[in-house]
Amino acid sequence: MTPADLDPDAAFLRADALQRGGDMAGAAEIYRRLLAAYPPQSPVLNKLGQIELRMGNAEAGIALLRRSLSIEPGQPAVLSNLAVGLRLTGKHEEALGCIDRALALAPDRVKTWNNAGDILCEINRFDEAVKAYSRVVAVDPGNVRAYCGLAAAYLELLMPQQALAAAESAIAKGCNDAQAFGLRGSALKALKRLQEALTDFDRALVRDPRDVVALNNKGAALLILGRWNEALVCCDRVLAINPNIVQTLYTRGKVLLVLKRFPEALETYNRVLALNADSVEALCNRANALLAVDRCDEALTDCDRALAIDANLAEALCNRANVLLALNRYDEALIDCDRALALAPGMIEAHNNRGVALLGLNRPQEALAACERAVAIDAGYAEAYWNQALSRLTLGDYENGWKLFEWRWQGTPQRQFAREFADPPWLGEEDVAGKTVLLHAEQGFGDTFQFSRYIPMVCALGAKVVVRAPENTLSVLASLKAEMTLVAKGQPLPAFDVHCPLMSLPLAFKTVLDTVPAKVPYLYADEAKRAIWRKALGDKSRPRIGLCWTGKPRMTVDAKRSMTFAQLAPLLRLPFSFHAVNKDLRLEDRAAAAAFPQLAVHTDELHDFSDTAALIAELDLVISVDTSLAHLTGALGKPVWVLLPWASEWRWLMDRRDSPWYPTAELFRQPADGDWQSVIGEVVRRLEMRFSEPLFRGIGTN
């Protein structure tokens, strides 16, 4: 058939039928032949313009619709279609002008009002979009497209109850597609009805497995519910469809942070920031990931970048405080917490961080008040209870402190303590006579030595006791006056009836300051190893003093509790025989120590704590920073001078020179933050004064 053979009316009707049936190519072919055979007709141009828009050829569609209007200007349907095309090319204001002209001609045309709502949503004018969609449902109460548009606009306006009503209306009117269920799920999620939301997201995904909005929202809901691995699967399904959805990458990063997969979280936030360099959310969370891998300076930079974009972002201030706490910069952290709380008074993380900062500034009473404000906002906030525990224990309130100490198990997986056993611990209420009790070490070596004093007390209750502890502590723990079975951490455990972490035993025995079981020694050095050390050290002509000036460099608290060898060096001019009892001696300290012949370094001879205990037993005094060696010395009943930072750990209490835990201990505290010089000066003076005191009598005997 040639163009001249066409019956224009029949051909138009044929093309219109094909278009309605979805055969766009067939319809377009007929429209083009009509345009070639006859003078351009406005309806033909309009129909072909609609097809071009639908096929993604927006500019071609716009040109055809403009030609249609040039022939017949007053066509509301064509004006509405032109608005759709202009919207597709980002010309939103011109599109709204077309909408206004169309509505002036046909005020109740629902397609035009729907198009108006869509355009207004795209340019974030959601209040006006709500009015547009509401006009549609007022004229056409069964228009499900308008109900879906209303739900989407209400969600953006943070009006989830109204969004839920609109989505439910769409479904009630017969809408059964993925969008309606996804919108209802999003509204339910915003209302914290998460299980119902998940049901709707799954309904949406049955209808369209590639619905990235439903997948993304499902992942976010699963994250809130703590179903982290499932959330990660949802995020990865979205990113397999479109790897550049920022919100999904952001959620994925949060999941990976919770799962402690910090390098992957870091890589994910790098992808977010490659797509949106000014995403303050991503900068804040990348700072968390950097902090977790000890890249504190970079974390601080990210917080500062976020604050440069939004100086009043409370989350960035709170995160910056977190980084500053890790750097022991407590004064600055406190300032950031106060700034965050001025912006967001209900931010529980900032209240908690403020408590941590105050505790680091040796202000435990104020720290306690800050943490109490946090739990007043959220009664289940484990971090604040934990920091309350540290504050109360520092203040000597053992009755309440030990109870709060149990909150260490209730935090998220990001917390440093993980509950190992499903059953709650035995805390003294149940009679354990005749039962097998597993006592297990949970924290550092010093904690193991300090709280091992309770093991004989559990045995005295008639229990059969199994003790699990790090392998290098077992030979020392074996010296306890107790019938027990020792198991190295990581080895299979025998059957047991109840369990208790060593650090929960003070609560089990209701320990207060006046009832601390402080009889020493309760640990003993191996006599055979003592004999070896006695021979190696030779005759004693001067007092023997053990020195420990550093802890494990990998521990975050080490920078605060340890000193440099140069800071310690003034001690070495005194006429004593000094012995380094550090096992983890820094290479630079070994080199510096070599210049002091009065200091013997025994690092290579110390294979486990029983070797160290035997060496300590042959010394007259140990001077140590707050490490496991201070606890071991105290447990052995040997004199120990403990050198403490300005804000010391909770176990050393406040402003005391003695310790209720170790009768042979004397405490030397920094008078100001970081002032080791004054501490060493006082130790030098005390050693000079006590040279002839009973501590050093009997020199020359063993």
Given 448, 481, 515, the domain boundary residue is 515
Amino acid at 555: M
Given 474, 493, 515, the domain boundary residue is 515
Whether residues 532 and 633 fall in one domain: yes
Would you say residue 180 has pLDDT above 70? Answer: yes
> Looking at the domain assignment, is residue 442 inside a domain?
yes
Look at phi and psi of residue 562 and say left if phi exceeds 0, alpha if psi is from -120 to 50, else beta: beta
Would you say residue 560 has pLDDT above 90? Answer: no
When mean pLDDT is compared across 354-368, 663-677, 685-699, the lowest value belongs to 685-699
pLDDT value for 5: 54
When mean pLDDT is compared across 107-116, 139-148, 529-538, 686-695, the lowest value belongs to 686-695
Whether residues 542 and 459 fall in one domain: no
Mean pLDDT in residue range 663-681 = 96
pLDDT value for 250: 92
pLDDT value for 4: 45
Whether residues 490 and 554 fall in one domain: no
Q: What is the C-alpha separation between 222 and 508, in angstroms, rounded? A: 37
Whether residues 613 and 677 fall in one domain: yes
Mean pLDDT in residue range 301-313 = 95
Mean pLDDT in residue range 511-537 = 97
Would you say residue 415 has pLDDT above 60? Answer: no
> Looking at the domain assignment, is residue 692 inside a domain?
yes
Would you say residue 65 has pLDDT above 80? Answer: yes
The confidence band for 558, taking pLDDT boundaries of 50, 70 and 90, is low
Whether residues 582 and 691 fall in one domain: yes
> Looking at the domain assignment, is residue 668 inside a domain?
yes
Would you say residue 696 has pLDDT above 90? Answer: no
The answer to whether the CB of 333 falls within 8 A of the CB of 324 is yes
> Looking at the domain assignment, is residue 318 inside a domain?
no
Helices 280-292, 314-326: crossing angle, 10 deg rounding: 10
pLDDT in tens, 587-646: 788 888 888 989 999 988 999 999 999 999 999 999 999 999 999 999 999 999 999 999
Residue 284 host element (H or E): helix 280-292
The confidence band for 700, taking pLDDT boundaries of 50, 70 and 90, is very low
- The domain that contains 667 carries what CATH number? 3.40.50.2000
Whether residues 689 and 546 fall in one domain: yes
The answer to whether the CB of 405 falls within 8 A of the CB of 503 is yes
Helices 348-360, 314-326: crossing angle, 10 deg rounding: 30
- Residue located via tokens 């003078």: 39
- At 171, list the tokens: 């479904």
pLDDT value for 661: 98
- At 72, list the tokens: 């017949």
- At 636, list the tokens: 């052995």
Whether residues 542 and 657 fall in one domain: yes
pLDDT value for 414: 37
Whether residues 511 and 559 fall in one domain: no
Total domains in the chain come to 2
Mean pLDDT in residue range 524-528 = 97
The confidence band for 475, taking pLDDT boundaries of 50, 70 and 90, is very high
Whether residues 608 and 677 fall in one domain: yes
pLDDT value for 443: 85
The answer to whether the CB of 314 falls within 8 A of the CB of 343 is yes
Would you say residue 512 has pLDDT above 80? Answer: yes
- At 281, list the tokens: 């959310």
**Strand partners of residue 308:** none
pLDDT value for 702: 37
Average pLDDT, the chain: 91
> Looking at the domain assignment, is residue 22 inside a domain?
no
Whether residues 443 and 586 fall in one domain: no
The confidence band for 346, taking pLDDT boundaries of 50, 70 and 90, is very high
Strand-strand pairing, 621-625 and 544-548: parallel
The confidence band for 22, taking pLDDT boundaries of 50, 70 and 90, is confident
Given 515, 542, 561, the domain boundary residue is 515
Would you say residue 220 has pLDDT above 80? Answer: yes
Would you say residue 701 has pLDDT above 80? Answer: no
Would you say residue 162 has pLDDT above 80? Answer: yes
Strand-strand pairing, 464-469 and 436-440: parallel
pLDDT in tens, 424-466: 899 999 999 999 999 999 888 999 999 999 999 999 999 999 9
Amino acid at 186: S
- At 228, list the tokens: 């982290």
Report which of 488, 447, 490 is spatially closest to residue 467, judged by C-alpha positions.
Answer: 488
For CA atoms 273, 276, 278, 282, the dihedral sign is negative
- Residue located via tokens 């198991």: 487
The confidence band for 1, taking pLDDT boundaries of 50, 70 and 90, is very low
Whether residues 441 and 540 fall in one domain: no
Whether residues 644 and 537 fall in one domain: yes
pLDDT value for 676: 96
> Looking at the domain assignment, is residue 644 inside a domain?
yes
Say if residue 521 is preceded by a cis peptide, omega within 30 of 0: yes
pLDDT value for 694: 53
658 Cβ contact partners less than 8 Å away, ≥ 6 residues apart: 665, 666, 667
Q: Where are the alpha helices (DSSP H) in 460-523?
A: 471-477, 505-508
Residue numbers of the domain that contains 614: 527-696
> Looking at the domain assignment, is residue 200 inside a domain?
no
Would you say residue 554 has pLDDT above 50? Answer: yes
562 Cβ contact partners less than 8 Å away, ≥ 6 residues apart: 549, 550, 551, 625
> Structure pTM?
0.78
> Looking at the domain assignment, is residue 468 inside a domain?
yes
